[in-house]
Amino acid sequence: MHCKPLGVLFFLLAVSAPASAQSGSQAPIRGFPPDALARRAQLETMLRQAPDTARLRRYLLTMSAEPHHAGSAAGRAVAEFALARFREFGLEAWIDTAQALVPWPLARRVEMLSPSPYVLRLEEPPVPGDSDSADRGQLATFNAYSPDGDVTGELVYVNYGLPDDYAELARLGIDVRGKIVIARYGRSWRGIKPKVAAEHGALACIIYSDPRDDGYFTDDVYPAGPMRPEMGVQRGSVMDMPTYPGDPLSPGWGNRPGARMLPRDSAATIEPIPVLPISYGDALPLLRNLAGPMGPTDDWKGALAIPYHIGPGPARVRVALQFDWQVRPLYNVFARIPGAGDPDQWVISGNHHDAWVNGAHDPLSGAIALLETARGFAELRRGGWRPQRTLLFALWDGEEYGLLGSTEWAEANADVLRTNAVAYFNSDTNSRGTLGASGSHTLETLIREVARDTRDPATGQGDLEAIVTRGLERARSAAESTRVRGREFRISALGSGSDYTVFIDHLGIASADLRHGGAQEAGVYHSIYDSYAFYTRFYDPGFRYAAAQAGAMGTVLLRLADAPVLPFSFTDAARIDRSYVAEIDSLAKRTLRDTVDLAAVRGAVDSLAASGARFDSALAAVTARGTGWLDRNRRALAAINRDIYQSERDLQSEQGLPRRPWYRHTIYAPGFYTGYGVKTMPGIREAVEQKDAAEARSQSAEVAAAIRRMAARADKAARDLMALH
């Protein structure tokens, strides 16, 4: 899943221009002593040279050969292929089976009954030059977790189908009650569109891909170019993930064979009304038959050659859908390299292996890189290296449906993960472009130092420098160029949309998502055209960015697996928290008459900044003692490191966020009405947005307490380090 209009999720990572873009094999690495740097450089160079573009190509050819959605036989074969590769590398590997409600489409009929009858095609045709587009076994175009239904009504165009769009409709006096709405893809997690439509009384929701958003408005359409063709359709889940992701029948507990399951009609994350995605080829006849007012602003216009009338009607449409609601098995694939020093401290990385169809880009571009990262570590081990901590590699099943495999596994193993998980690193789609990262800000310095030391494979530039170069190319004014040059490297906050969600949002495990991309616009997301032919033509022809991804992720994992003192930074966390408080403060001044007293949160952030500074000096003092001293104190350091990584757990609130207790992180959550889009300090921010001053006050107390817990933990780690010193 994920990916989507590239600009949004991707430039995430913005930047800094360190005066010297020196790849510093000898630059300091946080958490390591100076006398270890030469050995670290040697190990990291080996790890970054290990990924082999010929192997990456072979993996992709095999894994993308057949449609392999969750629950399919081909999906199981992809899992078995990955298992065989891990074992071929010499790693301990296994498949862990979970299960979940995985509906497949049985019957789909959408037709315009009047004024001019038209039966929608609902098919993506094969294209010349891409034999995979004619594969048998493709999952029909649909939105997973739409309910069954057969409804008829007048059609209303609702733009992107978000709350603001309905506010405009209300101003125009248009009511969607008893109607069928048609929304375009974009600007939100797709599951928000039917949710908001149902809240306004609509009978069903059709979602189409407007060429303005990922079609001919940008470039030629596939196969002439990379954009979405006339009959191309974006499949995708509409599960209400902002409430909880994972199996709808087992919220909060792992669903394995024999587990308790809710009856389907009490699962809160299945959409209330039927919903189906269509192509712009199928949308055009419908939209052409709308009358009534035009959209109130130009923002309501797409790129079809029609006036964008809103309706209602005269188009009268029937939507009839039926699904095969079965609980199906999920195959999560794991490989492990046990830690030699602290085997109970786990550094985890994961990427999903299930796809909507062939999925060369989503998810296999990231999955093949993960395989090569694992092989690189196997090579290091053959050379005599052993990780200090345990490395765990995961290839998840059922991500597209709603993060099923990762969520069910992590819920089933919640207790041991709370104790042992140091951090979780996610990847998913990967393609030509700059290295991007989002995640827990305690990991920001770690990731910045890795980007300092890795290189863009096309230009040989350091990744930090490449990010600046790209920012300068995109800058539209001298002032913007100056800003790009002066900006520090920052990672952005995580919303939702890939498998990190359960780790960070439910279990409080520091997490980050790392990927390359942004250089190629495309319109094949979740369609039959996300194929090997497309990928090798547009996304990463020489597999160099897959290799770069494997190397960059490997470097992050290696540093975290071996660092004598874990390189978390509370200073970074305090700095970003301060910026969130300022944003919320100005939001409250604009939207709430009542002011929200954020003094307690500000005070907590101040104390986190102070504790963070004490921790930074303690870490520097202790690592300066050198390798021998650190080795002799390994036992004591293991306990301190446990405190350091468990600090992310401190940011959780026990009762969770209002109206969605599965989400427990007080700093990051996907927005209740944006889905993919992150809301930082979500409890306070969403209360302010909903103009609920009382809830904003109680949530401020929660956030302040959470940040104070983290500050106390940072202080304890600093004290314990200094006591050793």
| Interface positions with Zn ion (CB under 5 A) | 1-2, 362-363, 428
In sign, the C-alpha dihedral spanning 637, 639, 643, 645 is positive
Q: Provide the minimum distance between the beta carbon of 665 and Zn ion in the complex, in angstroms, as a whole number.
A: 22
Q: Provide the minimum distance between the beta carbon of 398 and Zn ion in the complex, in angstroms, as a whole number.
A: 11
- Which residue's structure tokens are 């039917």? 194
Which tokens is 85 given? 């590769």
Between residues 246 and 363, which has the closer beta carbon with respect to Zn ion?
363
Q: Provide the minimum distance between the beta carbon of 2 and Zn ion in the complex, in angstroms, as a whole number.
A: 5
Q: Provide the minimum distance between the beta carbon of 224 and Zn ion in the complex, in angstroms, as a whole number.
A: 26
Between residues 1 and 447, which has the closer beta carbon with respect to Zn ion?
1
Q: Provide the minimum distance between the beta carbon of 58 and Zn ion in the complex, in angstroms, as a whole number.
A: 21
Buried b (16+ CB within 10 A) or exposed e, 663-679: bbbbbbbbbbbbbbbbb
Q: Provide the minimum distance between the beta carbon of 367 and Zn ion in the complex, in angstroms, as a whole number.
A: 9
Between residues 428 and 465, which has the closer beta carbon with respect to Zn ion?
428
Which tokens is 711 given? 């500050």
SS (H, E, C) 120-164: CCCCCCCCCCCHHHHCCCCCCCCEECCCCEEEEEEEEECCCCCHH
Q: Provide the minimum distance between the beta carbon of 132 and Zn ion in the complex, in angstroms, as a whole number.
A: 18
Q: Provide the minimum distance between the beta carbon of 520 and Zn ion in the complex, in angstroms, as a whole number.
A: 16
Q: Is 261 exposed, middle or buried (0-12, 13-18, 19+ CB in 10 A)?
A: middle
Alpha carbon dihedral 261, 675, 69, 87, in 10-degree steps, equals -90
Between residues 4 and 30, which has the closer beta carbon with respect to Zn ion?
4
Q: Is 128 exposed, middle or buried (0-12, 13-18, 19+ CB in 10 A)?
A: exposed
CA atoms within 13 A on the CB side of 679: 24
Between residues 353 and 679, which has the closer beta carbon with respect to Zn ion?
353
Strand partners, 145: none
Between residues 514 and 710, which has the closer beta carbon with respect to Zn ion?
514
| Secondary structure (3-state) at 234 | coil
The answer, yes or no, to whether the previous bond of 211 is cis (omega within 30 of 0) is: no
The answer, yes or no, to whether the previous bond of 115 is cis (omega within 30 of 0) is: yes
Q: Provide the minimum distance between the beta carbon of 108 and Zn ion in the complex, in angstroms, as a whole number.
A: 23
Between residues 2 and 184, which has the closer beta carbon with respect to Zn ion?
2
Q: What residues contact 80, with CB distance under 8 A and at least 6 apart?
A: 95
Phi and psi at 303, nearest 5°, equal -105, 15
Terminal-to-terminal C-alpha distance of the chain? 47
Between residues 526 and 559, which has the closer beta carbon with respect to Zn ion?
526
Between residues 211 and 363, which has the closer beta carbon with respect to Zn ion?
363
